[in-house]
Structure 1
Amino acid sequence: EKLNFLMSIIGISGGELAHAVSLDPSYISRLRSGKRSLPKGQRFLDDIAAYFATKVHTEYQIKLLSEAMSYEGEWPEEKEAAQRLIYDWLHTEQDSQRDTIMNILQGAVSSFLLDAVLSPDRDPDLSTIGSDVREYYYGCSGRQEAFLHFLAAALRAPAGQDMYLFTSESVEWLAGDGEFSASISTLLTEFAQNQRRLKIAHPIQQNVTDLIHRLQRWAPVYLTGFAEPYYYPKVRSDFFLRTLFVVPGTVAMVSSSLEGSNAESVTVIASEPRAVEAATMEMEYLLSLAKPLARVFTPGNHSGITELLKDFYNKKEPMLVIHDHLAPFPGTTPNSGTDFSGEPDLQNYAVVESIIRSSPYTEVISKPDLDVIRSGSIPIQLTELAPDGPRYLSKEEYVDNLDHTIRLLENNRNYHILIVPQTFFNFYLCIKKGVGVLISKPDRNAATFFVEQSNVLEIVWEYANAVMKRVEKTDKESALAELRELRDALAE
């Protein structure tokens, strides 16, 4: 459990760890599966601790590890001191830490759910991008520079020409500062505005954490609303890693590395027609093997959302919703043609009623804030996709919805509400086990994700259940009492 946790937070495979500490990958695999106990008194335990001491360096990684270790002090800057802490933690026998570690990892997943739907609002300086274009770029900073030059060159592509993106290498370089993320988003949005699409193929490697990590790093791309995510369904643990980005007929970006190697990477930008054609043929073959990972909807590109919502709501599976505010669903009737109206069902509440007639439905909401309700600032989920969205409930609409919610709770065994003290920062998560998950944030111009990939569904379902376990009062009468008290307070 501890070894898997350490590998998860820095995003490495068993092969990479085995190479770093000079062990056979099969031995690491047996340690991770529990088929072999972690040996004591052997030199390689020192090597493992030393390796992770050098790799755990970001503020977020340190926070996760300190929580798992129950370490409350300041993380040491000296690698030797950090190595001793990790060694002692690995060496100390404890009862199973599975629940502790899972809760921490699920916290990491919730951070992805928040970060992935935040829209960048910076105004980046793009005046120097596209000048001083070279063929070779070195290291992490060089790859960032190469990617920006690649995107600038891609703008020369004709209308309707797609962009293909694939990498099995580390994606840490995508986690640049806000200026870098905003520059990516701006360039990609400009690229996509001329009837162009971005197709991103994600490899699924050793575990789901790797996939979540990659989706988080690609968030600025998905927020453009013009990206289509795919995944390669065969689990791979390759020693030879590759990055291949290409705009057919225009430009390609290529790099490669060996898993576990500390050698400085080289990224190549190619515009010679034959080189671009070779890269194009590789990517088209890869995409022919890939499967869709998620659908991404934005206010300017939400074709098919109405049909998706109808199908999703009608599937007879348990449903979990996590959000800050008690608010109705939007209607699923198109405003005109296939356009998504986003009008909330404030009169008949048909969506919720149809769900609870056939399946268990549980809402987890934050403790209601009277000031927010009275000011008319409660957003209605998914209405950010509608024209002039998102929509907000007036106090009167909120009270009507509250009354109806209380009646549903009183009269339906399938319907449950859990009230938690924490806030979810205005994000909305709706999951049906084995069906799919909707992830959105009711901000203007934000993106909404619908994911069906089974591994992602599993870890999001575990996260949702972990949230519910933190609820102190889970009986229906406690929720009803709190909602009735809220209604009385709003009536004053």
Structure 2
Amino acid sequence: MPASFKDILNQYIDALGCTASQLSRYSGISGATISRYRSGERIPSPDSQHFELLCQAISQLAVENGQSDLTFQKIADSFSTAADMNPQLENRFSRNFHALLSSLSISVSDLARALNYDSSYISRIRNGQRTPSDPRLFAEGTAHFVVKRYPEASHRTMVARLTGCDPQELMDDTAYFEVLSQWLIQGENKEKDDLSDFLRKLDEFDLNEYIRVIHFDKMKVPSVPFQFPISKSYYGLSEMMDSELAFLKTTVLSKSMEAVTMYSDMPMEEMAKDPDFPKKWMFGMAVMLKKGLHLNQIHCLNRSFTDMMLGLESWIPMYMTGQISPYYLKTPANLTFSHLLKVSGSAALSGEAITGFHENGRYYLTNNKEEVAYYKKRAEHLLSKALPLMEIYGKDSRSLYHAFLHSDIASGGSRYGILSSLPLYTADEALLCQIMDHNQVTPEERTQILSHAREQLEMALQILSRDTITEEMPLLTEEEFHRSPMRLSLSGIFCEKDIFYSWDDYQKHLLLLKKFQECHPNYTCRLTTETAFSNIQIQIHKGSWVMVSKNKAPAMHFLIRHPKMLHAFENMVIPISDTAQMPHKASAAPAADHTDPEDWK
């Protein structure tokens, strides 16, 4: 495990037989600062003058001590191997720490109490704002906590997925501790970034393309009765998948138009590995929606984050139809038993298994009227305990969407946005009209867009009068722009027409954006040289909600309040690199009309 900066410094002091006061005199660095370096309270930046003076002083003391082989470069190189001096290792630690807390749903407050740290300090380590003064000690403390509080086989399996080892290797507590503590500092995260993967799929999803590929528009709801015994039991994972498909067939082929209620806290990863089941299941769901049935889907979010996001990914196409009402249960699911309940007007599917032994579960499908009535009551009771997972706003609910935005202005709190285009409200009307002129925008559309921009500006100014807004957005080179021109972001008015910037428009908007930031101290713009998404925007009202807005195909807004998902969004590592904050000073503005990306770095 890499040593920390303080460890290497103290090793040099011991090897040279010098004192901290001597090192202070030779380097010109105050004794108090040297003391903080030795305790790990502070670490000099590798490119700072203090770091250079420190290395020179150690080298000089080494020469006087007869150790001329300890050159300045050798000393600097040894410090660069420290975990807390190496940005790559530092970022890896925060990423791994965040992945561990997310995968096991570890409470920050519980961990803070166990390690005797402040919760806010743990949170800053998690999001990369801080690095532990002694990474090894912190990693070992975290590993001890996990071994003690998360001893179940299911927990060890999750850690095995993160670390890339065989779950059997972690059955011994000592091995569990050693693998986890070493991985936190040195290991590569073997588990995919589930939240970013979910957002990427949402960003790429095109409902029209999806409808064309599965022939949804030509799909006919079959009317030939599907016969199966009044009741049937299914055993094991393979038969469990058969029972799911049989339930969908029975529901589709019945005459009932009653809403369908579905709930499952069964693990999903094994089913997702089957090459055929996901396609058949998706087709069955598509036919059910084509029939016009409304679906109350109760999601289980008290499962691993991987399972949770995997489930939500599969629901993206269905959410776009507007026929889904997503819910979740606030009370955690029983960690010993796993359950499944799916009920329609004509059939019911009930399943049970011991958690961790999904392959030995039993699933019971029935179309017996009395039994279906019983399971309907169970579904109604379950639904009464559920809370909305997210509010989905489409064209039909635009008034509710705008009502929410206006009501939220009154609530305080900082806002953070990850945008795929420049914010509409920072452009003036002259520029917007110029953009619309060469996009053949109709007079009606023009009026609507200008009104929307004014409304957005009014809301932004109200927020900025007392709170902060920080937004990330792409900074494109001319080559990148011509390869994929930026579009006006118009999901707020559910406009799916492509209205493109010209390169000149884009440059003018960048300058207006800079002026907007200079005039509003509470506004911060961060331009990125790489963008993660091209068709979605993410708005976060810290501690309250996150909204994922899809610009087109179709334009929709997903308002999420669930604490676990909100926390994941607030702490996610977006796959964006080379972030450059836009300079505030007017003197930094480029002299030319066009903006070179280097001017923003």
TM-score of the aligned structures, taking structure 1 as reference length = 0.70
Say if 2:347 is the partner of 1:251: yes
Residues 426 and 513 in structure 2, CA contact (< 8 A), matched pair in contact too: no
Higher Rg: 2
SS for the counterpart of 2:214 is: coil
1:111, CA displacement in angstroms? 1.9
Alignment of 1:348-367 (within 5 A): 350=457, 351-367=459-475
Kept in 2: contact 1:162–1:197 (CA 8 A) = yes
On the 8 A contact 1:225/1:301 being kept in 2, the answer is no
Change (3 A) 1:267 1:482: farther
Structure 1 partner of 2:239 = 142
- The residue matched to 1:215 in structure 2 has which SS? helix
Give how far 1:183 is off: 5.0
Q: What is the aligned partner in structure 2 of residue 321 from structure 1?
A: 417
Is the alpha carbon distance of 1:484 and 1:136 closer, same or farther for their aligned partners in structure 2, counting shifts above 3 Å? Answer: farther
Report the CA distance shift for 1:54/1:370 in structure 2 as closer, same or farther (over 3 A): same
State which of 519, 537, 543 in structure 2 corresponds to 1:434.
Answer: 543
SS in 1 for 2:594: helix
Assess if the C-alpha contact under 8 Å between 1:206 and 1:235 holds in 2: no
Report 1:221-232 matches (<5 A). 221-232=318-329
Separation in structure 2 between the aligned mates of residue 90 and residue 267 of structure 1, nearest angstrom: 37
For residue 417 of structure 1, the aligned residue among 511, 522, 525 is 525
Partner of 1:448: 557
3-state SS of 1:325 partner:
coil
Kindly indicate whether structure 1 or structure 2 has the higher relative contact order, using CA contacts under 8 Å at least 6 residues apart: 1
Q: Aligned equivalents of 1:177 and 1:382: distance in 2? A: 39
Contact 1:124 1:183 in 2 (8 A): no
Deviation at 1:414, TM superposition (A): 0.8
* Structure 1 position 241, deviation (Å): 1.6
SS in 2 for 1:235: coil
Where does 1:92-491 land on structure 2 (aligned, <5 Å)?
A: 97=184, 107-116=193-202, 118-119=205-206, 121=210, 122-123=213-214, 133=228, 135-156=232-253, 161-172=258-269, 175=272, 181=278, 183-192=280-289, 196-205=293-302, 211-247=308-344, 249-261=345-357, 263-299=359-395, 304-313=400-409, 315-328=411-424, 345-346=452-453, 350=457, 351-371=459-479, 373-374=481-482, 377-381=485-489, 383=491, 386=494, 389-395=496-502, 398-426=506-534, 427-445=536-554, 447-463=556-572, 466-467=573-574, 473-474=580-581, 476-477=583-584, 487-488=594-595
**Are residue 65 (structure 1) and residue 163 (structure 2) matched?**
yes
Cα-Cα RMSD? 5.0
Following the alignment from structure 2 to structure 1, what is the Cα–Cα distance between the partners of residues 475 and 382? Answer: 47
Does the 8 Å contact 2:415/2:468 carry over to 1? Answer: yes
Cα gap change, 1:193 to 1:418, in 2 (>3 Å): same
CA distance in 2, matches of 1:169, 1:161: 25
Distance 2:511 2:330 in 1: 47
Query: Cα offset for 1:277?
Result: 0.8
Which amino acid is the alignment partner of residue 350 of structure 2? Answer: V
**Equivalents in 2 of 1:215, 1:443: separation in Å?**
19
Aligned equivalents of 2:192 and 2:272: distance in 1? 20
Query: Cα–Cα, structure 1 residues 109 and 99, in superposed 2: closer, same or farther, change >3 Å?
Result: farther
Give the TM-score, by structure 2 length.
0.59
In the alignment, the residues of structure 1 paired with residue 238 and residue 263 of structure 2 have an alpha-carbon distance, to the nearest angstrom, of 19
Q: Which amino acid aligns with 2:346?
A: T
- The runs of 5 or more residues in structure 1 that have no matched partner are 14-28, 67-74, 332-340
Offset of 1:487 from its aligned partner? 3.4
Per-residue CA deviation, residues 305-349 of structure 1 (Å, 9 max, x unaligned), is: 222233345533211111233242699xxxxxxxxx777845685
Structure 1 stretch displaced more, 137-146 or 362-371 = 137-146
Q: How far did 1:199 drift?
A: 1.0
Q: Distance in 1 between matches of 2:590 and 2:190?
A: 31
- Secondary structure at the aligned position of 2:461 is classed as helix
Does the residue aligned with 2:424 lie in a helix, a strand or coil?
coil
Measured in 2, the distance between the counterparts of 1:488 and 1:3 equals 39
CA–CA separation in structure 2 for the residues paired with 1:239 and 1:381:
47
The offset of 1:369, in angstroms, is 4.1
Moved more, 169-178 or 445-454: 169-178
Deviations along 1:265-287, one digit per CA (max 9) or x if unpaired, are: 33332211111111110010011
Cα contact 1:365–1:420 (8 A) shared by 2: yes
Instruction: State how far apart, in whole Å, the 2-side matches of 1:272 and 1:145 are.
Output: 19
Q: Give 1:443 deviation, angstroms.
A: 3.6
Q: 1:312 to 1:256 in 2, by over 3 A?
A: same
**As a proportion of its length, which structure holds more helix?**
2
The number of equivalent residue pairs is 441
Greater shift, 396-405 or 286-295, is seen at 396-405
Q: Structure 1: which amino acid aligns with 2:516?
A: L
Q: Determine helix, strand or coil for the equivalent of 1:115.
A: helix
2: distance between equivalents of 1:241 and 1:95? 33
**Structure 1 residues 175 and 119, CA gap change in structure 2 (3 angstroms):** farther
> Which amino acid in structure 2 is aligned with residue 324 of structure 1?
S
Deviations 1:159-190, CA, capped at 9 Å, x for gaps: 76211011122123563678755554554344
Change (3 A) 1:38 1:119: same
Structure 2: gaps of 5 or more residues: 1-92, 117-139, 428-447
Q: Which range moves more in the overlay, 315-324 or 400-409?
A: 400-409
